[in-house]
Structure 1
Amino acid sequence: MRALRSSAVTVVAAAAALAVVSGCAEKSDAGDSDAIRVTASDDKCEVSKTSFPAGDVKINIQNKGSKVTEVYVYAADDRIVTERENIGPGTKTEITATVKKAGDYEIACKPGMKGDGIRQKITVTGGDGKQKKTDPALDKAVAEYRKYVQEQADATLPLAQKFVDAVKSGDLDAAKKAYAPSRLGWERTEPVAESFGDIDPKVDVREDGLEKGQKWTGWHKLEKSLWDGKKITDEDKALADQLMKDLQGWQKRVGTAEITPTSMANGAKELLDEVYRNKITGEEERYSHTDLIDFDGNVQGAEKAYELLKPVAGKQDAALVQELDKQFAAVKKSLDDYRDGDSFKSYDTVGKDDRKKLSDVVNALSEPLSKLAGAVAK
């Protein structure tokens, strides 16, 4: 869940973004000399190239500012193409993305990870006009992932309806029980859902992530009522209906998402960033303390994307695949320590030391996972 995700924020963060635009990765032998360099600071977002041909693109980001920043790429219709968050002061990171559609885009740096960000317009040209061959194995991975994303959205609807029905009937205990399961499909596929830009602010925004003048709706508004307010109001019942309507819109649109092998890989990294930024800190489910259920959903979604890309990544970088297998297993083993029957312990019972251990295993996976997009685009 992003702290901010509205159309106003739609141009906010420059470099993980170029990954979602289209269907299959194209092979590229572009070296670092051809990379787009994004230099972020507290008051600037400098981009080395404002025009480049469509295809596989490497983006090298350096944060020279004093604040943690984010970099996004946005398409003209406000879709998030790709993103990279939590870029610390004085650090560098690299993103490999696939942009197959010519047109106008924007790159944005977001110092402090707040506000609309510092934006730069960029143009993607049509390349040489020739149809380039794609890897059938990657075509298959994209098709299977697209099927997975749709299945998760389809499976969410009846679970969300159960939650909504409990809220509307005023059954506090039943609503609490149905809350976390209704969110799992979303958590598994969150980067794809967020790529539409306008859906996330309606269904998954937290109170501290609201834009000025934005009405608070969605899961977390209801979460606060159930656990903090300990009652269900008439307004909550209306918001439950609105949540269901918004999720139905997501279900209908998710099949139109633009997906590439690199967007799958970068999306897997985003899911790990979600865990680190919001789940381990306890910020995501601050009232229900169901963070570990979300954590598990994020890891499942990241692993699904990885497993689909693994056959190609293994041919390109066997050592990377070996490391990713090891680190995914370590994260899942650590999560198992907090299982409670078919679910997980309440996160407010997890102490500081244990949260640090979880953070360490997530970081150990996050670093090699950031290289997956580069491996599938070779």
Structure 2
Amino acid sequence: MRTTRFLVPAAAGVLAVSSLTACSDGDDRDAAKAAHAVDVKATDASCELDVTDLAAGQATFTVTNSGGKVTEFYVYAAGDRVMGEVENIAPGLTRELRVELPAGTYETACKPGMSGRGIRGALKVTGTAATVAPDAALAQATASYQRYVVSQTGALLTRTEEFVAAVKAGDVAKAKALYPVARTYWERIEPVAETFGDLDPRIDGREEVVEEGMEFTGFHRIEKDLWVSGDISADGPIADRLLADVKEIVAKANAEKLTPLQLANGAKALLDEVASGKITGEEERYSHTDLWDFNGNLEGSKAAIAALRPALEQRSPELVAQLDREFANAEQALARHRVGDGWMLHTQLTKAELKELSDTINALAEPISKVAAVVAR
């Protein structure tokens, strides 16, 4: 700055013009960046965005976790359709999420403890967005759901690694605490996992697989040892095999491309899982952590429907409204049994409470059973 005082007037004039131009360009770039950049301060009790109005286009969310729990950050469109997410943000870390957002209204969510609906906030995006044709909306549905699967398989692998490490260390208390958390991510993507032959029963098979000529391994074998005998000293090889099987299914699931019809059928299959195994207490018969699975199945079903939502809104908006109502009812019924970051045990629920949960799932299953026909039009 001081050297400009010694320039001849003409040169000084040129410099002044250049400086003004550079400053103007820089201001424009800064303004454009600001229109698409959001700083997120996450704690165990808050989720603060410094900007809640954005211009349409690619947005960048910089998420800093100042809390004591591992957290996640999500951007949801209507119906909790995941537009983007970043997971496993440990205390003290900052992670970045870049996501393309057309004009519309959205919700953001921080999820301390990586569970529940999270701490929600409104986000508005303005600008011009082209209308997506019905067939294109279905194509986008599969891409959207694939992003969801990738996010869940990543978390499944991380949580399974932690669970296996606790089992091999002989830490029964820690393994018990980690077991239902890892299972949540499995339950969310079960329709995808079940497409890969023997991998599903090896990972998730209950004791009845012995009758089918298979070895009893996986999550439920370790579950039995944790809660029945409390002795996991010989479970190291079983834990290693579980982790190897999970790694294999993660790789396959991430490469699998489901059709829109498979998404519709998968959403219904997850509710069938709730009705046949979680409500009855059959799934987690030793740990009684069935509500973790219930929640995972419900969230997975909702994610599949959310991916299909733009196409469903074009083809059957009245069905979308019904699905929204019934998902909300099911979530509210389940939320009454939340305890901290987890859920009550199945054995702590009364018959009336179990019937209420069953009724809400049956009510939700009815409109979901219509989705496949709408998709197939």
* Same fold at TM > 0.5: yes
Cα contact 2:225–2:231 (8 A) shared by 1: yes
Counterpart in the other structure of 1:330: 329
TM-score relative to the length of structure 1: 0.63
Q: Does 1:180 align with 2:180?
A: yes
SS at the partner of 2:240?
helix
Q: How does 1:156-305 map to 2 (within 5 A)?
A: 156-234=156-234, 236-305=235-304
Cα distance in structure 2, aligned partners of 1:326 and 1:261:
22
AA aligned to 1:157 is L
Deviation at 1:212, TM superposition (A): 3.4
Counterpart in the other structure of 1:140: 140
Q: Does 1:320 align with 2:319?
A: yes
Q: How does 1:27-66 map to 2 (within 5 A)?
A: none
Task: Tell me how large the CA RMSD over aligned residues is.
Answer: 1.3
Cα distance in structure 2, aligned partners of 1:304 and 1:212:
32
SS at the partner of 1:135?
helix
Cα distance in structure 2, aligned partners of 1:188 and 1:216:
23
Spell out, residue by residue over 1:53-111, the C-alpha distance to the aligned partner (whole angstroms, 9 max, x if none). xxxxxxxxxxxxxxxxxxxxxxxxxxxxxxxxxxxxxxxxxxxxxxxxxxxxxxxxxxx
Counterpart in the other structure of 1:369: 368
Q: How many residues align?
A: 245
- Taking every aligned residue pair, what percent have the same amino acid on both sides? 46
Deviation at 1:222, TM superposition (A): 0.3
Cα distance in structure 2, aligned partners of 1:190 and 1:216:
19
Cα distance in structure 2, aligned partners of 1:184 and 1:324:
22
AA aligned to 2:137 is A
Spell out, residue by residue over 1:201-227, the C-alpha distance to the aligned partner (whole angstroms, 9 max, x if none). 110000024343311110000000000
TM superposition outliers: structure 1 runs of 4+ over 6 Å: none
SS at the partner of 1:180?
helix
AA aligned to 2:316 is D
Greater relative contact order structure (CA < 8 Å, 6+ sep): 1
Cα pair distance change 1:324/1:230, threshold 3 Å: same
Cα contact 1:180–1:293 (8 A) shared by 2: yes
Cα contact 1:272–1:362 (8 A) shared by 2: yes
Please identify the structure whose Cα radius of gyration is greater: 2
Deviation at 1:248, TM superposition (A): 0.5
* Structure (1/2) with the larger helix percentage: 2
Unaligned runs of 5+ in 1: 1-132
Cα distance in structure 2, aligned partners of 1:364 and 1:319:
16
Cα distance in structure 1, aligned partners of 2:372 and 2:177:
38
Q: Does 1:339 align with 2:330?
A: no
Spell out, residue by residue over 1:236-293, the C-alpha distance to the aligned partner (whole angstroms, 9 max, x if none). 1110010000000011111232401110011000000000000000000011111001
TM-score relative to the length of structure 2: 0.63
Cα contact 1:195–1:257 (8 A) shared by 2: no
